[in-house]
A and B are shown apart, each in its own frame.
Chain A
Amino acid sequence: MSTLPDLEILEHRLDNGLRIVLSPDDRLPLVTVNLWYHVGSRHERPGRTGLAHLFEHMLFQGSQHVGTNDHFAHIQQAGGVANGSTWFDRTNYYETLLAHRLDLGLWLESDRMGFLLPALTPDKLENQRQVVMNERRQRVDNQPYGRAFERLHELLYPLPHPYHWPVIGYMEDIEAATLDDVSDFFETYYRPNNAVLTLCGDFQPEEALARVAHFFADLPAGPAPPASPEPPSAESLLSHREILEDDVELERIYLAFRGPAFGEPEWYRADLLTTALCGGRSSPLYRDLVEERQLAQSLSISIFPTELEATVVLVATTRPEASSTDLEEAIWQHLHGVAETGPSPEDLERAQNGTLTGYFQGIENLDRRADLISQLAVFTGEPERAVRDVVHYAEADIESLRRTAAGLFRPERSIVLTVVPRGGAT
């Protein structure tokens, strides 16, 4: 294995509980300000789904000292890029700026962390509600296969599991959200003690830390957010099959399992296993199903880096002339095979090397590096694992991956969702 990069990762905590992680890199005159809040769709309740994401939109609508559309205007005038995203367990915000504009990013983030409510108005909520409803139409309702992941999660995580509902929320819930919901959400979760701020790029650590303290130190800590109830265990899941009709041309199979939580050594083994099975053209699933038997048009497996447990999902689009029954059967043969014997030495080597290259590519990009660091800080409390954890991939062997596969790919704990053209569910 090639030497790991000597990324410097420094940690600090302000008195108000804000955790700060610094990773200096002077290759380009850029700095990224990356702020993760430990709140996502799983902290919502049924009837108010989509609130975390709608709230993320509201954070771009100005705060006490920043005008309504001025967040992006400030950033773009300074030649920066900015965005945010919401997922099951967390919400993140970042701006990547020319290094000498670090203060601008810190000012914007601290203003909306400390002073959002005075700027919250019914008009802004109404406007962003419309934008989010259009986002849902564009990504889910008006998109072939767009409902599949939503339905898959409903089946894979029966209520009261908080991964049951979609991150973007159900249309009627987006319509129902009130200004009080939004401000309560802010008061409960948007506190320095529920966040991690990571800076990556061209700065002197002591100086950068002083600038962070300058903007954030006077923001008050809040009470710890309420503890989430223990979700139902993966062992309570019963296998289920379902057919979903949609405006599509080709049938598509979603085969899903519940796997280990992100950050556990077992998560890295499961991640490596997915690459061994299906990463690249020379992987056994791709070679057999796409190239040789030509049952699949496309094929991928992914594992989510989520906090409570990971969704592992294999998505296979059926070739027009093939049958999805044959395709599914062939996929199961591979999954049973790897659970019995583990991956071949060649597939293990390919997966290990490919994962390492992917890791190097990821840390070359400041935004992606900062996200990795913040993610480990928020979920495990150990940001320096952004350098260390990659060894879990190197240490895996055939037998350990065999055990991972046997634990993961159990038909009695699986969900199979098949999307078919309208009129095809016979």
Chain B
Amino acid sequence: MSLDRSQAPRSKPPVDDFRFPDFRYQRIDDGLDLYSARWGRSPLVALELLLPGGGECDPSDRPGLASFAASLLDEGTERRSGQEIALTIERLGGSLGSGADWNSASVSSLCLAEHLETALDLVADVGLEPSYPDAAVERERGRRLAELRRRRSLPSQQADRLLQATLYAGTTYDHPLIGSEEGLRESDPATLRRFYADQMSGPITLIAVGDVDEQRLSDLVIPRLAARRTTTRFEPTPVEPPADERRVLIIDRPVGTQTELRIGHVGVPYSYPDRAALVVLTCLLGGKFTSRINLNLRERHGYTYGARAAFSTRRGPGPFVVSTAVETPSAGAAAREVFSELERIRDEAVSPEELADTVSYLLGVFPYTLQTADGIGSRLAQIAIHGLAHDHYQRWPKRLGAVTVEDLLRVANHALHPDQAVLVAVGPAADLEPQFAEFGRVGVSL
């Protein structure tokens, strides 16, 4: 008896409806919110303390200051040196780190549940009383300057940097989070302490997910973090970059065998009202392996190992970028395919099947991203940072399911602007220039 393999097995009914796990939210006081959820089968707890002061707060004369200040949180406090902090948590098998993205600064820690109290002591100390010791500032500055130097040799970083600088000239998104040499050199311990006081001392949020007892958690958190913060929120000025004409910028890198390609324009803020449709659109266009852009450039033409498109999730209108690395002789052809995909999705409605496949994909991978405590924690962080409704993730599957073909067409025309896109290429300029002439004014830098 042989098995009929000719058809894909049909779906059985789902075992159960997946729901985002229940979590607990408490406003402890005007300066402190607490989110917690029990999750997982291991005796671990993931902690994240969110503070104001993300990259969006960088002063224009000191790009990189926010990231610099956040990364130094765990390098010394009034009570402990950076080494004591690291030693205390690492001896217990845990970890602790700090940093910033565009929207916020954060301190995160992972520990065994039995060591929760120690981890909270450290997270609170690091988050509330950083001292910016001179030696630590110098060391971290040196590390960052060297990192900037390392990135100068990475074609992908060169491409990202030039695209951001071009799209966001004169605004707070015009640089990478790490900033610039000048910005780092201008930031001494006094500047860092002032930035902390002015930008990072506003209200905070603690998120704890894993093997936590919620009562015990509140008992430990309140004496350490409550009534310690100013309630003033510092609102950064929103980014409003001008629209651009389509143009091409090449960074000449004669040695490589491949060309890094970016095609991007100013995108939309996280709060975009049609967010569910935008997420479906981006996934279909360049988010999943079977997206239009990846199938076109990789599977149909073999130009690249991979290509993707994404809107960044920032409070202000972050960039929309298509990224890929292609064999140099096909760079022009690859760019033409990208532009044609961007035009096509604005001109023609997608088929109901393609929409259904994409929604189904997003619904399925949603629980996949929630397997670990920090996976749940990062969703709770989104709720806190963007002020989402507390049932946002419970309702999210339903919102994805309600997106229509018309929604996608409307959002594609509203949020995608291929006519204003800037194309950045890092590769041998002599080979690239003639290939890109059709896309707009070409500028070359060395």
> Which A residues are within 8 Å of any B CB, using their own CB?
2-3, 5, 25, 27-30, 64-66, 69, 72-74, 76-81, 96-101, 103-104, 106-107, 110-111, 115, 126-135, 137-139, 141-142, 144, 202, 214-215, 218, 247-250, 279-283, 287, 290-291, 294, 297, 317, 319-321, 346, 349-350, 352-357, 360-361, 363-366
Contact = CB atoms under 8 A, between A and B. Distances in A.
Given A99-B15, A103-B12, A365 B83 contact: no
22 contacts: A27-B41, A30-B371, A76-B288, A76-B289, A76-B360, A79-B360, A79-B361, A79-B363, A80-B361, A81-B365, A98-B18, A131-B298, A134-B302, A202-B15, A250-B149, A280-B86, A320-B146, A320-B149, A357-B110, A360-B112, A361-B110, A361-B372
Nearest to A357: B93
B439 to A, nearest CB: 22
A321 B90 CA distance: 30
Question: Which residue, A80, A249, A290, has most C-beta atoms of chain B within 10 A?
Answer: A249
A282 B325 CA distance: 38
B52 to A, nearest CB: 26
Nearest to B87: A282
A65 B6 contact: yes
B189 interface: no
A73 B356 CA distance: 12
Contacts of A346: 87, 91
A98 B93 CA distance: 33
Contacts of B110: 357, 361
Nearest to A31: B15
Contacts of B18: 28-29, 98
B42 A360 contact: yes
Nearest to A363: B42
Question: Which residue, B86, B302, B368, B372, has most C-beta atoms of chain A within 10 A?
Answer: B368
Contacts of B11: 78, 100-101, 104
Contacts of A247: 153, 255
Contacts of A69: 290, 295, 299
Contacts of A2: 43, 112, 114
A353 B298 CA distance: 44
B2 interface: yes
A366 B371 contact: yes
Closest 8 CB pairs of A and B: A79-B364, A353-B93, A130-B302, A103-B9, A360-B42, A281-B86, A135-B305, A282-B86
A170 B184 CA distance: 42
B90 A319 contact: no
B143 interface: yes
B219 interface: no
A353 B90 CA distance: 8
Interface in B1-26: 2-3, 5-9, 11-16, 18
Contacts, number: 226
A248 to B, nearest CB: 5
A353 to B, nearest CB: 3
A294 B12 CA distance: 59
A30 B368 contact: yes
Contact of A214 (B3, B111, B361, B373): B3
B154 interface: yes
B302 A357 contact: no
A215 B9 CA distance: 11
B83 A249 contact: no
Given A65-B6, A76-B361, A281-B82, A100 B12 contact: yes
B151 to A, nearest CB: 9
Interface in B324-348: 325-327
Contact of A249 (B82, B153, B364): B153
B163 to A, nearest CB: 18
A127 B258 contact: no
B83 A98 contact: no
Nearest to B97: A281
Nearest to A114: B5
B394 to A, nearest CB: 15
Question: Which residue, B44, B112, B256, B302, has most C-beta atoms of chain A within 10 A?
Answer: B302
A364 B41 contact: yes
A111 B303 CA distance: 28
B94 interface: yes
A280 B90 contact: yes
B104 interface: no
Contacts of B282: none
B443 interface: no
B112 A357 contact: yes
A254 to B, nearest CB: 16
A27 B368 CA distance: 11
Nearest to B291: A76
A77 B255 contact: no
A67 B40 CA distance: 38
Nearest to A127: B302
B147 A297 contact: yes
A218 B41 contact: no
A280 B5 contact: no
Contacts of A353: 90-94, 112
Question: Which residue, A69, A104, A280, A366, has most C-beta atoms of chain B within 10 A?
Answer: A280
B201 interface: no
B153 to A, nearest CB: 5
Contact of A365 (B9, B154, B371): B371
Given A134-B327, A361-B42, A364-B42, A142 B368 contact: no
Interface string B275-305: 0000000000000111000010011001111
A306 B16 CA distance: 39
B198 interface: no
A5 B15 contact: no
A73 B14 contact: no
B150 interface: yes
Contact of B360 (A5, A77, A141, A297): A77
B185 to A, nearest CB: 14
A182 B12 CA distance: 36
A138 B258 contact: yes
Contacts of A106: 9
A144 B15 contact: no
A282 B365 contact: no
B353 to A, nearest CB: 9
Given A2-B43, A69-B295, A100-B12, A281 B149 contact: no
A100 to B, nearest CB: 5
Question: Which residue, A29, A110, A356, has most C-beta atoms of chain B within 10 A?
Answer: A29
Given A25-B41, A137-B257, A137-B305, 8 more contacts: A81-B368, A104-B9, A142-B256, A214-B3, A349-B91, A357-B44, A363-B42, A364-B40
Contacts of B372: 361, 364-365
Contacts of A66: 8
B367 interface: yes
A342 B361 CA distance: 51
Contacts of B124: none
A87 B288 CA distance: 24
A111 B5 contact: yes
B325 A134 contact: yes
A29 B139 CA distance: 47
A357 B110 CA distance: 9
Contact of B14 (A29, A96, A138, A350): A29
A283 to B, nearest CB: 8
B332 to A, nearest CB: 16
